[in-house]
Amino acid sequence: MGGILADPLLNTINVIKSIISENDQENLTTINQNKLRSRTTEFYYVAQRIFRNAIRNPAVAASQTIICTILAILTGLLFNNMKTTTHSSISDHLGAIFFISTHQTFCTGGALEALIKERLLSTKILCDLFSMRFIPSFIFSIIAYPLTGFQRSINRFLIFCLTIFINSIFGSAVCFFIPACISVSAVALTAVILCFTMMMVLSGFLVDLENMFTCLKWTKYISGIRYCSNILTINEFRNLTFCLSNNTHICPMIDEQVLTEHNIPHNTNWNMWKNLHFISIMALVFFYYGLYSTATNKNN
């Protein structure tokens, strides 16, 4: 008799448990969907607000545009219409590439103060960084590229423009990562300057990387300026010949000699694009750890 009464009771308990389990599963799914929807909605409305603020108060966007325009004109004046003769043109081309790679990286340090003040607003920071880097990079490219006398080719110009933009994003990623880890603005600024300075030294223009200590040679792989300058160097020197100034038919220097002397692999297209991949991956890593550190600080 007891067994007959127990079976319906057990069945009822099992049904109740299954219903509770299904409800918990549905609630968990709903919570996850709401989280995903809330993040997407947050990003959408923050991006919309930034766009409206830029229209209502264009001072920040205008200042970035003015600065990049001045830098582009300065670059064009310093390296105006570079020739392709063997006298000093090679050093001029390399100097222009080093100058562009370096100042485009250091210019991203101007966003450091805003990143320190608003380091917990990760969505706003990401929207600001991407929106305030693309337009200045494009303006700089369309002014500096023709003034300096780089090779006239739409493909080379687009590669130049893309490299400048990715390099700016990389510098912004470093400036986003360091303040997320260091809350003191003076220390964060010092760390950013030190980081960029080391990348400049390891670019291969100031120091022969092959003559460094073996234990330090690996540091060249963390230099974003080196990757940027490698792309620009391959993009400019490929299929470029340097002739004598008094006889344009005698061209003793070709692109392979210059690139080989500077230890830059250039035999295939991948040798150029891998540098773009590496600097993009480094930017993503810095952004990821910056967001992770920001989320940790929020929870604390």
The pLDDT tens digits for 70-101 are: 999 999 999 988 877 766 778 888 999 999 99
More confident residue, 196 or 91: 196
Alpha carbon distances (Å) from 195 to 1, 36, 37, 81, 106: 81, 35, 37, 33, 10
pLDDT tens profile 3-19: 444 555 555 556 555 65
Alpha carbon distances (Å) from 107 to 5, 94, 136, 243, 251: 80, 20, 11, 35, 38
Residue 222 contacts residue 201 (beta carbons within 8 Å): no
Alpha carbon distances (Å) from 80 to 63, 96, 101, 280: 25, 10, 17, 30
pLDDT tens profile 95-127: 999 999 998 898 887 666 656 555 545 555 666
Q: In 221-300, at which residue ranges do the beta strands (DSSP E only) sit? A: 241-242, 253-254
Residue 297 contacts residue 180 (beta carbons within 8 Å): yes
pLDDT band of residue 278 (cuts 50, 70, 90) is very high
Q: Residue 145: pLDDT above 80?
A: yes
pLDDT tens profile 199-234: 999 888 888 887 888 777 888 888 999 999 999 999
Global pTM value? 0.78
